[in-house]
A and B are shown apart, each in its own frame.
Chain A
Amino acid sequence: GAVVSQHPSWVICKSGTSVKIECRSLDFQATTMFWYRQFPKQSLMLMATSNEGSKATYEQGVEKDKFLINHASLTLSTLTVTSAHPEDSSFYICSAKRDSQNYGYTFGSGTRLTVV
């Protein structure tokens, strides 16, 4: 149990275009989901906390107008990278916590974004 599906697993886009990444909790409900970014050989950096039915909470230094987060249901959160630039190329990972579970956040398999 506690499976998180992330789609797509990789995407290549042109500079200036927008890309949407989906994060789904397949067998549980998640009021809260988290979005991370990871550059090569670095640790995961928390970008934002996605809350179902309300606005996301962004970490300091993360542009909320560039990284749009929507958590419209208890099983789906989306991250849209708007007007992507090469410096946005990174590995994006989501995670979710089962509301009834005391510990153990589940992570998606990640999305490799390459902006050319």
Chain B
Amino acid sequence: LAKTTQPISMDSYEGQEVNITCSHNNIATNDYITWYQQFPSQGPRFIIQGYKTKVTNEVASLFIPADRKSSTLSLPRVSLSDTAVYYCLVGIYNQGGKLIFGQGTELSVKP
């Protein structure tokens, strides 16, 4: 499984756009990139998944460059409720592969 590297923590203010970058230099051809969000004392929640280029849903956007060795989760206009830990995972999840979590990025949104 490809190892991922993310910043340990990030600070932001309400209304700002937040970009969290994840490095995955050893990503395999069939690997997908998936991001999860976790609030304290809760299970992780799926945010977005992509394979290449750009993916957007109602919550976030995911930017993946052509070499796929990194990815950036973009959260538009964050609010206090976006304070959480964000995990980047890489793997063949569409084939039932197990999810291995890295350290994650603790995002703190301030008023």
Q: Which of B41, B45, B94, B100 contacts A103 (CB under 8 A)?
A: B94
Size band of the B side of the interface? 20 to 34
Task: Tally A residues with Cβ within 8 Å of B.
Answer: 26
Known contacts A44-B101, A46-B99; decide if A104 and B43 are in contact (CB<8 Å).
no
B44 partner residues in chain A, CB cutoff 8 A? 44, 93, 95, 107
Q: Which of B99, B102, B103, B104 contacts A105 (CB under 8 A)?
A: B99
A112 partner residues in chain B, CB cutoff 8 A? 41
A15 within 8 A of B: no
A-B interface contact total, Cβ < 8 Å: 54
C-beta contact mask, A4-27 vs B, less than 8 Å → 1, else 0? 101000000000000000000000
A31 partner residues in chain B, CB cutoff 8 A? 96
C-beta contact mask, A82-116 vs B, less than 8 Å → 1, else 0? 00000000010111010000111111111010000
List 10 other contacts, CB 8 Å, given A36-B101, A95-B43: A43-B101, A43-B104, A44-B101, A46-B99, A46-B100, A49-B98, A93-B43, A94-B43, A103-B32, A109-B43
Chain A residues with a Cβ under 8 A of chain B: 4, 6, 31-32, 34, 36, 43-46, 49, 91, 93-95, 97, 102-110, 112
